[in-house]
A = this chain, B = another copy of it.
């Protein structure tokens, strides 16, 4: 396991590492041994330091049970994640798990350390899916703090982390940056601002070998649901994904628990009664998954998300809302050394309670329909 570095305050980490004298050493600030809490209320802005690396708890062995639940929660129909034979016929050693299932599982590992008390998850960038993940693989995750910015209100700050996930062979499978608004704890730390510069997009040259060579002769276009390939899509083309899907509170809770995403805003209706919206909000990642699942109707052969350039939750989604989605083909790229597949840069927007026929771009305002998600990503598709 990677070494944890603790640049400015070792106390909490000593607690986690179980060093002999941890509670004595820290007792001054943490209370007497018998009353010192073994539990955590989650980190505050002051608990983070640039360069700090956190090993997250609860590595996960992903299973076909997780995959079945993911299908049941999202309606994902991409053939590559549904049929082991389809996957094998196009060149995969094993049927890969849905890319966003992998993303959520890793994201969930980071929540208890990074965003348990997040006010808002502000964005994602530079997300790369580096290797296929299959049932049976075990993932672990770590996050490095790469930026901090205190807000002028003195109540909150933004924390930037780069999170990385590795499989059981210590091979990197996922790598992304996210930034999140975190409450201050009232500590006296000086205002700091160290905001990382983030690329506007992931360059196709940086995709890595996120999929094996694809055997296009083995690709069954009836099974995948469409005959459209790389050359059939045009830059600036807009696709209405037509269908809508309604979200229930119980489904979001089931998803949040499956992903270990224990953030209060999703998990705790009582606390959220007095929160910003008076109720729980749906996990933003669940919205991403619903939008991706809806996008099957029009993007059937976009079999793999190789990178997420950016994700923005334009407005919250609540239980009872019906989600629609449409996509813009923003760019296209041939990949160096590969004549099997190309990449489409896609911006998918998801709306609440608004069909996609008019290709809406306005964020939903309070109590009204509109865009809730903009997801800018690269998807691979056979040439």
The residues of A with any CB-CB pair to B shorter than 8 Å are: 1, 4, 14-19, 22-23, 33-35, 37-41, 55-61, 63-69, 71-75, 77-79, 82-86, 95, 112, 116, 138, 140, 168, 220-229, 232-234, 236-246, 248-251, 253-258, 260, 262, 264, 267-271, 280, 297-300, 320, 322, 353
B residues in contact with A232, CB < 8 Å: 18, 23, 38
Q: Are B38 and A299 in contact (CB under 8 A)?
A: yes
Q: Are A322 and B268 in contact (CB under 8 A)?
A: yes
Q: Are B67 and A63 in contact (CB under 8 A)?
A: yes
A186 smallest CB distance to B (angstroms): 18
From B79, B242, B262, A41 is in contact (CB under 8 Å) with B242
Most buried by B among A33, A237, A320: A237
Q: Are B271 and A19 in contact (CB under 8 A)?
A: no
User: What copy number does this chain have within its complex?
Assistant: 3
Residue of B nearest to A33 (CB): B234
From B75, B138, B240, B353, A262 is in contact (CB under 8 Å) with B75
CA distance A40 to B243 in the complex (A): 9
Q: Are A34 and B83 in contact (CB under 8 A)?
A: no
6 A-B pairs closest in CB distance: A18-B227, A65-B68, A57-B225, A39-B298, A55-B222, A250-B250
Q: Are A61 and B34 in contact (CB under 8 A)?
A: no
Q: Are B19 and A77 in contact (CB under 8 A)?
A: no
Known: A228-B15, A299-B38. A223 touches B82 (CB 8 A): no
